[in-house]
Structure 1
């Protein structure tokens, strides 16, 4: 039996690892040191897919990822939303009274700030949550704990002192799933997300005119972010997600108008919208 592999950035037990296991429970997961290594694993056919975090409901966009996606040589073929449930993990025998220092990634520590403050615990920043859990397990000091996933606790033999200590209960990370080749996602196959990057011409009102086609054609833009490329502060590149398929008439017209006012438009992926979008839409319980 051939085991299919999906790559992720981080140590075993990271939230990206959890996302891989949730989306592809039968696949093996491949930890990678950084995002570039995860992309390379797919390009070099050591993995079939890569699970890449793109934004978090509490912390916002993942730093640098929008710079890396267009140059990865890969295509977005899906998305996954993963609930982030931080656990206070400690070596066997430790208690909440023995803990003095809590280790984790800077964003995770920020997401449990109220808990740490209320218990007088000192945060210590690590490169990632799962790596912090691994180090706490290796040291075995009852004065140390980690903020990480339940999966990290199981993998490294740590006990959960306090579950679900995140300050915001809606804490969720959106991932995009990358592959070597784009998928053939028919326009009548259900709700669709189209992701692309573009650069507008350096003229007044260029962005307003470029996006006007989406408004006049009733195409919903669900994400739009700008970032500087090539060291230039005059022209920004934009990343966007829209609802709809490029073969739909109104979406096609909107993209044509975008292209007219842009220097470059590049589609990164056309893929099924996650059911999470509908279940968490405004007004939906």
Structure 2
């Protein structure tokens, strides 16, 4: 059976993204993002599911640094709505819970619910791990904030569902493969992801971006980050709507090349139809 690597333990939100996007692949939990990439390189995994950004917390740390040097290619994107559940040991009631543990980013999202029920929260390394640890400890006054999948994985009861204060927290993932799998131009909505470094000339970034504006190409993401810890070396990570063979995109990328010292396409892949902005009609 084909496998898909993800960072975290079984029951993590990344595991849920794997199950939703690639239900025919066996999940392969990895301790770090580097381990996910390593599993791809040594053949233990056929695909990798990596988070790149979250609607609440922005860019996922280290991902933009790791992807360009991974030797892998983006072949799909997937969005997961982060739904938080309060989990307890079997037979536990909500009124029994005095403390919950979860990843630090989940706790503030449930502040209203926790306050209303007089539950204190403690940070854990990850939420699926907190669920697994709850089983090992066996304390019926403890709970975990995690996914419903984590409850299914570790045999816990779901004491409350969708307890987040705001229902918009979504994580965007990319599916990585060893070989590119580009859809045909004009076959449907497509995204292209690339990284580039501008040349050391006045207004280079302004000029580089001008080609996308004049050709009507919608750029949905542009982020900068330092390379090798040097303030003078900045690399940009970008997502655009469209295929490199679409004439507007081809012209924009050609113009970009005049003002860059490095330009690498990380992936050309189908856009998620539920999240496609539709800024470009393929030619």
Pairwise TM-score range, normalised by the shorter structure:
over 0.9
- Structure 1 equivalent of residue 201 of structure 2: 203
The alignment yields a C-alpha RMSD, in angstroms, of 1.5
Alignment counterpart, residue 6 of structure 1, candidates 1, 4, 7? 4
1:51 and 1:217 map into 2 onto residues whose CA distance is 32
Contact residue 189 and residue 278 of structure 2 kept, 8 A: no
- Structure 2 equivalent of residue 115 of structure 1: 113
Alignment counterpart, residue 238 of structure 2, candidates 240, 245, 270? 240
Please give the TM-score of this superposition, normalised by the length of structure 1.
0.94
Aligned residues: 279
Any idea what SS the aligned residue of 1:117 has? helix
1:35 and 1:63 map into 2 onto residues whose CA distance is 10
2:8 and 2:251 map into 1 onto residues whose CA distance is 41
Please give the TM-score of this superposition, normalised by the length of structure 2.
0.95
1:268 and 1:147 map into 2 onto residues whose CA distance is 34
Task: Answer yes or no: is 1:160 the counterpart of 2:175.
Answer: no
Residue 154 (structure 1) shift: 0.9
1:10 and 1:45 map into 2 onto residues whose CA distance is 19
Any idea what SS the aligned residue of 1:275 has? coil
Any idea what SS the aligned residue of 1:183 has? coil
CA offsets 1:230-270 (integer angstroms, 9 cap, x no match) = 11112311110000001111101111111111111110000
Contact residue 30 and residue 36 of structure 2 kept, 8 A: yes
* Unmatched runs of 5 consecutive residues or more in structure 1: none
Any idea what SS the aligned residue of 1:36 has? helix
- Structure 2 equivalent of residue 76 of structure 1: 74
Residue 281 (structure 1) shift: 7.9
- Structure 2 equivalent of residue 218 of structure 1: 216
2:202 and 2:159 map into 1 onto residues whose CA distance is 57
2:278 and 2:97 map into 1 onto residues whose CA distance is 40
- Structure 2 equivalent of residue 265 of structure 1: 263
1:228 and 1:113 map into 2 onto residues whose CA distance is 34
- Structure 2 equivalent of residue 126 of structure 1: 124
Aligned ranges 1:148-187 → 2 under 5 Å: 148-187=146-185
Any idea what SS the aligned residue of 2:121 has? strand
Residues 190-199 or 116-125, more deviating: 116-125
- Structure 2 equivalent of residue 18 of structure 1: 16
Aligned ranges 1:25-44 → 2 under 5 Å: 25-44=23-42
* Unmatched runs of 5 consecutive residues or more in structure 2: none
Contact residue 202 and residue 234 of structure 1 kept, 8 A: no
Residues 137-146 or 109-118, more deviating: 109-118
